[in-house]
Amino acid sequence: MRLPALHTVPSFGVAASSKRCQSLATAALLAVTLALVPRPAAGQAALSDLLTRAERTDFVETSSYEDVLELSRSLAELSDEIHLTTFGYTNEGRALPLLVVGASDASPEAVHATGKTRVYLQGNIHAGEVCGKEALLMLLREYVNGGYPAWTDDLVLLVAPIYNADGNERVDLGNRPRQHGPVGGMGQRPNAQGLDLNRDHMKLDAPEARSLVAMLTAYDPHVGVDLHTTNGTRHAYHLTYSPPLHPNTPEVIDSFLRDQWLPTVTRRIEEKHGWEYYYYGNHNPRRPGWYTFDHRPRFNNNYIGLRNRIAILSEAYSYATFEDRVLATLYFVEEILEFAQQNAMRIQEVVEDAERESVIGRQLATRAEFEQSPEEVTILLGEVAEERHPYTGEIILRRLDVVNPTSMHEYGTFTPAETETAPEAYYILPGAEAAIERARAHGLQVLPMTPTVDMEVQRFRVDSTQVAERPFQGRTERTLFGEWETVVESLPEGTVVVPVNQSLGRLAFTLFEPRSDDGLANWALLDASIEEGRYPILRAPSGG
């Protein structure tokens, strides 16, 4: 599958002889001066073409969609290693830019032909959390300027700096209240449909989410990195992070991240920059402990983990200054890529190990609950100062260099609360078009099936259902109660089979199990059949 070239990006060339930033510090020093300098004519050498809007305005503003496209085109024109394409479109028809770094061209075929380790870097899924968007562009500029020359010896980078492009254009000074900048405003959390794209990875209601999973299927990155900004807890970390959290994540991926990759990155950043990073969490005195967020694969990092791929979530601290959040994110991605380049073959081996591990016949989680750490850990809590937003007069909070080490239990992992045995296959009956369509959209192998008479299968008996009191993300969630029972049935023409012995077997299980807390039934995608008293997906008997 070759993705179309991005034709909507205007060309703003920068001559090869242009003076370029030698470091991020140089760019920062020039930012204020360049902010008011008129833009030169197209084709004229200009250092400002290589600065983000954040840098040009001394971190008062964040980059618009057009800013991102212009800078992306300039970077691609300056480097034979960078190719600009699109991986899909937003609800309002904006092309989603993807910079492919380290292949002969931007096609999936060219990327796979390199044999290199593939790393996907995503910014701006929540368009008020803009530090990733700026940091990714700054890192690519440094690559163009001769920094990080070894990265593309072993890696291909797939960089999507502005995933929620529609939300990015809905700038308002009141978005993300109390966050410390950018005081010139930022975009909104949801997309143009009002959907949170970081809750849409399973139901795929947004065109952006469908574009993303199509890209993941086509390019198949070994690693996905999703860049955010925190909400809430006043801690002392410049950035917190998370591996995939679903209990069905391959253990080889979880241990590789927790035992090697993330500790190495944390140590290197502390040694180089003196900043503390740690696992994402929230602390509330009324609920003692350090709690991570959620295990469900509606979230990007958890979803990628169920695709047997490595995922890292980044959360820059919202009360650090905007400039510090950008730098914290930049340092994090920089060290992630340094480790990836130095361990490129090991990363591929980890993914291959996850692929080889069959889940058929194993007990997998359909629901999960927090798991308490055996011992208390030391969490660095912090303090903030109140300031006034210069243009709205509202209170914003600024991080103080205060560290309060506090011992508490950590709730950073999940354990199964309910399990089912993974079958060899699921059979989707005619009439459940939403299930078939979603399965194909996710990239699952869906095979036609010859009509079969008197076949032993398992059918879920629906005893009762519980419907949420109010809609969430455009749908009213539903919980099913009942149990699987073995029956003999004839499978009619139009039935399709989804084998579980495939790369996305863990994802298939989580989509199709009726008690799954993030499956198709939960998202009301099977309501027509369920309201008739039947669950329209059968499965092969366990072990059969």
pLDDT digits (tens, 9 = 90+) for 315-328: 999 999 999 999 99
Whether residue 300 contacts residue 311, with contact meaning beta carbons closer than 8 Å, is answered with yes
H/E stretch holding 156: strand 155-160
**Mean pLDDT, rounded, for 331-342:** 99
Bridge partners of residue 86, in order along the sequence: 97
User: What is each CA distance from 499 to 57, 309, 335, 449, 504, in whole angstroms?
Assistant: 53, 19, 38, 11, 9
- Specify the pLDDT at position 453: 86
Confidence of residue 541 (pLDDT cuts 50, 70, 90): confident
Please report, for residues 30, 62, 126, 483, 532, the alpha-carbon distance to residue 132 in angstroms, rounded to integers and kept in the order given: 21, 11, 10, 44, 46
The answer to whether the beta carbons of residues 162 and 133 sit under 8 Å apart is yes
Q: What is the mean pLDDT of residues 207-232?
A: 97
Q: Which CATH superfamily is domain 24-363 in?
A: Zn peptidases (3.40.630.10)
> Where is average pLDDT lowest: 39-53, 97-111, 447-461?
39-53
DSSP 44: S
Nearest alpha carbon to residue 313 among 132, 437, 67: 132
Q: Given this model, what pLDDT does residue 196 score?
A: 98
Give which of 61, 89, 57, 59 is closest to 165, Cα–Cα: 89
CA–CA separation, 317 and 232 (whole Å): 9
Q: Tell me which H or E stretch contains 371.
A: strand 363-371
What pLDDT is stored for residue 42 in this prediction? 39
Encode pLDDT of 442-455 as tens digits.
999 999 999 888 99
Mean pLDDT of 425-452: 96
Q: How confident is the model at residue 543 (pLDDT cuts 50, 70, 90)?
A: low
Q: Is the peptide bond before 451 cis (omega within 30 degrees of 0)?
A: no
In this predicted structure, the answer to whether residue 24 has a pLDDT above a threshold of 70 is no
Share of the chain above pLDDT 70, in %: 91
The string of DSSP letters for 74-118 reads: HHHHH-TTEEEEEEEE-TT--EEEEEEESSSSSSHHHHHHT-PEE
CB 91 within 8 A of CB 193: yes
In angstroms, the CA 197 to CA 91 distance is 12
CA-based radius of gyration for the chain:
24
Q: What does the domain layout of the chain look like in residue ranges?
A: 24-363, 424-539
Which pLDDT score, from 0 to 100, does residue 301 have? 98
Task: Name the β-bridge partners of 399.
Answer: 384
In the β-sheet with 287-291, what is the strand arrangement from edge to edge?
A: 282-284, 287-291, 410-411
DSSP strands (E only) in 230-268: 239-242
Res 44 pLDDT > 90:
no
Across the range 197-201, mean pLDDT stands at 98
Q: Which of 241, 193, 261, 214 is nearest to 85 (CA)?
A: 214
Between CA 250 and CA 504 the distance in angstroms is 12
